[in-house]
Amino acid sequence: MSTFQPTPTKPWWASAVIYQIYPRSFADANGDGMGDLSGISGKLEYLAALGINAIWLSPFYLSPQADAGYDVADYRRVDPLFGDLQDFDEMLSKAHSLGLRVIVDLVPNHTSDEHAWFQEALASPSGSPARDRYMFRDGRGIDGVEPPNNWRSIFGGGAWTRVTENGVPGQWYLHLFDTKQPDLNWENPEVHAEMESVLRFWLDRGVDGFRVDVAHGMVKAAGLPDWEGQTAMVSGDETNTLASQSPAHQQKPAMDPPSPFFDQDGVHEIYRAWNRVLKEYDGDRMLVAEAWVEQPERLALYVRPDEMQQAFNFDFLLAGWDAQRMAAAVDNSLLANAAVGAPATWVLSNHDTVRHTSRFGLLDPTAFPKGISAEDEQPDEALGLARARAATLLMFALPGSAYVYQGEELGLPEHTTLEAAFRQDPSFFRTNGVERGRDGCRVPLPWKASEPGYGFSSGTPKEGGHAAPWLPQPPSFAHYAADTEAGVAGSTVELYRSALEVRAAHALGVGTHAWAPQHDPGAGVVAFSNGPITVLVNAGSVPLDLPPAAEVVLASTLDSVSQGKLAPNSAVWIAS
Ligand code: GLC
Angle at the Cα of 197 from the Cα atoms of 284 and 60, rounded to 5 degrees: 80
What CATH homologous superfamily does 512-575 map to? Golgi alpha-mannosidase II (2.60.40.1180)
Considering only CA atoms, which residue is closest to atom 4 of ligand 1? 70
- Please tell me which residue, 297 or 481, carries the higher pLDDT value: 481
Whose CA is closest to 174, among 243, 109, 270?
109
User: What are the catalytic residues?
Assistant: 213, 280
pLDDT in tens, 139-153: 999 999 999 999 999
Contact by Cβ (8 Å): 470, 364 = no
Contact by Cβ (8 Å): 530, 77 = no
DSSP secondary-structure letter at 178?
-
CATH for the stretch 116-174: 3.90.400.10
Instruction: Give the number of residues written for the chain.
Output: 576
352 Cβ inside 6 Å of ligand 1: yes
Contacts of 153 (CB under 8 A, 6+ apart): 159, 175, 176, 177, 178, 430
- Please tell me which residue, 398 or 1, carries the higher pLDDT value: 398
Interval 415-428 mean pLDDT: 97
How far apart, in Å, are the Cα atoms of 140 and each of 152, 226, 281, 487, 553? 16, 12, 47, 64, 65
Q: Phi-psi region for residue 439, left (φ > 0), alpha (ψ -120 to 50) or beta? A: alpha
Query: Which of helix, strand or coil describes residue 72?
Result: coil
CA–centroid distance, residue 123 to ligand 1 (Å): 27
Question: With a threshold of 0.75, does the pTM exceed it?
Answer: yes
pLDDT band at 466 (very low <50, low <70, confident <90, very high): confident
> Could you give the CA distance from residue 52 to residue 17 in angstroms, rounded to a whole number?
5
* pLDDT above 70 coverage of the chain, percent: 93
pLDDT reported for residue 239:
35
Cis omega (within 30 of 0) on the bond before 260?
no
Helices (H) and strands (E) counted in the chain, each on its own, are 16, 21
> Could you give the CA distance from residue 239 to residue 253 in angstroms, rounded to a whole number?
12
Whose CA is closest to 424, among 469, 470, 374?
470
CA–centroid distance, residue 61 to ligand 1 (Å): 14
184 Cβ inside 6 Å of ligand 1: no
DSSP secondary-structure letter at 150?
-
* Other Cβ atoms within 10 Å of 516 Cβ, number: 18
Choice from 106, 155, 233, 438 to test ligand 1 binding pocket (greatest atom count within 8 A of CB):
233
Choice from 70, 174, 212, 347 to test ligand 1 binding pocket (greatest atom count within 8 A of CB):
70
CATH 3.40.50.2300 matches 12-109+190-499? no
pLDDT reported for residue 469:
96
pLDDT band at 245 (very low <50, low <70, confident <90, very high): very low
Q: Is the per-residue pLDDT at 492 higher than 90?
A: yes
CA–centroid distance, residue 346 to ligand 1 (Å): 19
Interval 390-403 mean pLDDT: 98
Interval 319-332 mean pLDDT: 97
List the chain domain ranges: 12-109+190-499, 116-174, 512-575
Q: Is the per-residue pLDDT at 479 higher than 90?
A: yes
Contact by Cβ (8 Å): 24, 351 = no
pLDDT band at 244 (very low <50, low <70, confident <90, very high): very low
154 Cβ inside 6 Å of ligand 1: no
Nearest ligand 1 atom to the CA of 350 is 8
Residue 392: beta bridge partners? none
Nearest ligand 1 atom to the CA of 292 is 7
Interval 354-376 mean pLDDT: 98
Considering only CA atoms, which residue is closest to atom 12 of ligand 1? 70
pLDDT in tens, 517-556: 999 999 999 999 999 999 999 999 999 999 999 999 999 9
Query: Which of helix, strand or coil describes residue 522?
Result: helix
pLDDT reported for residue 465:
76
- Give φ, ψ of 480 to 5 degrees: -105, 5
CA dihedral 366, 371, 373, 376 (to 10 degrees): -30
Interval 413-429 mean pLDDT: 97
pLDDT reported for residue 463:
67
292 Cβ inside 6 Å of ligand 1: no
Whose CA is closest to 204, among 21, 76, 27, 348?
76
pLDDT band at 473 (very low <50, low <70, confident <90, very high): very high
CA–centroid distance, residue 305 to ligand 1 (Å): 26
177 Cβ inside 6 Å of ligand 1: yes
pLDDT reported for residue 3:
55
Considering only CA atoms, which residue is closest to atom 7 of ligand 1? 214
pLDDT reported for residue 5:
55
CA–centroid distance, residue 214 to ligand 1 (Å): 7
